[in-house]
Amino acid sequence: MNNSAHFLLPFLGAALAVSAATNPDFHSVRDFGAKGDGVTDDTAAFQKALDAARQAGGGVVYAPRGVYYFAGHLNVPAAVTLKGVWESVPSHIGIRNPGQARPTDDGTTFLVTEGEGSEEGPAFVTLQDNSTLKGVVLYYPKQDPAAEPKPYPWAIAMRGKNPAVLAVELLNPYNGIDASRNERHLIRDVHGQPLRRGVLVDSIYDIGRIENVHFNPWWSMRPKLFQWQQENGEAFLFGRSDWQYVFNTFCFGYKVGYRFLQTKSGVCNGNFLGIGADDCYTALVVDNSAPFGLLISNGEFVSFHGPDPTMVEVGTNHTGSVRFVNCAFWGPCRQIARLGGRGTTAFSDCIFVQWDSKREGRPALQVESGTVQVRGCEFRENKPQIALGEKVRRAVISDNVITGPLRIENKSPGAVKIANNADEPPAARERNP
């Protein structure tokens, strides 16, 4: 940087400060009494700033660098943005010593304490029409990284039309984001370690969007806490949502990575591109889905821990349609998929790398009932590939590449087509045992 640029920097900073101070759409929580010292309860000061922005017709409530302690909860009114310093989601650098009572203040950090011991009660932050939470870290200082977690209400609730959560780190909430009962929600660039539930989507009748949301055990992998998370945690939950769009999401270390529920409102259909789940007891569970389809493309799923590690489980009540396209399944699991219900499950251009880790003779795909399509896939282990049960109504298994001999068990009296699968001839098996 040249000398003239160094000379101009102080004046540019002063000009920005003056602009912010004179901008009627900009409200600093410091001007309403917020201390940001990690000790003083800043709930009332923040709510005063948010209400002032509402009375002005909307705007930005800015929380400068600091550690803000909250004994209560916040309501972000319509057309108001609550914003911290982060323009891109941080990776827990706002907390130098996770698990300690007093984090450092190299960003905008919210210490959340209300509702300890119960999932009931209001969310810490509730968003309304066109309101946004951006650029902050949510940290629960009373959670012990070495113990089973304490229940808390949702960290964030998204209500109304077009609420948004952007560039937020959910460092260690018990429950992350309740994205139900709204229209056109946007959740983008959210990272962290929700312990019980990451994101819940339900009662959505106009398209919701989730992009670049990654849940990793950054806060704690201490044995007691992490075992509890793997036995109880669910990263992404989808109830009723009409054409949900999900892109580039990931989770590590949960009981269930992605779960599609049947709720009072209904079931989900949508487009899921580039989703991943690693080291989950079951990577993806479908209790039920809409007939319009769950379209899952370019997914990566890994399971190898738990009592019966499985990549995909489709339940006995399933009546909809689930389609996996160009997805990869690996890790020393016991089965790739167990499929039930009366609906349809399809695998196209997928890669099945590992299964039957205990050498019990389990097939990669155990199809108990319904309809299944397996086309153009690669089975990379010399083990049984598919078993069709007596309640299977229809099946098309074609154009797959098989390692070893073709081993498909067919007990179905229904319409089953098995054709054009390329297994290995005996000579090739001898060369590639």
Q: How confident is the model at residue 16 (pLDDT cuts 50, 70, 90)?
A: very low
The answer as to CATH 1.10.3470 being correct for domain 20-225 is no
CB contact at 8 A, 111 and 68: yes
Q: In this predicted model, what pLDDT tens digit does every residue of 120-150 receive, in sequence order?
A: 999 999 999 999 999 999 999 999 999 999 9
- pLDDT at residue 106, rounded to an integer: 76
d(CA 229, CA 223) in angstroms, rounded, equals: 10
4-13, 25-34, 81-90, 168-177: range with lowest mean pLDDT: 4-13
- Residue 238 identity (one-letter amino acid): F
- pLDDT at residue 431, rounded to an integer: 53
CB contact at 8 A, 352 and 322: no
* pTM score, whole prediction: 0.92
- pLDDT at residue 428, rounded to an integer: 59
Per-domain boundaries in the chain: 20-225, 233-433
The burial of 427, by beta-carbon neighbours within 10 Å (0-12 exposed, 13-18 middle, 19 or more buried), is given as: exposed
**Which residues on adjacent β-strands are paired with residue 402?**
379
290 alpha carbon, distance to own chain's centre: 20
Q: Which whole number is the average pLDDT over 361-366?
A: 98
d(CA 383, CA 111) in angstroms, rounded, equals: 52
Asked whether the predicted pLDDT for residue 395 surpasses 70, the reply is yes
List phi, psi (to 5°) of 225: -70, -45
Q: How confident is the model at residue 99 (pLDDT cuts 50, 70, 90)?
A: very low
> Buried b / exposed e across 238-247, counting CB within 10 Å, b at 16+?
bbbbeebebb
CB contact at 8 A, 241 and 208: yes
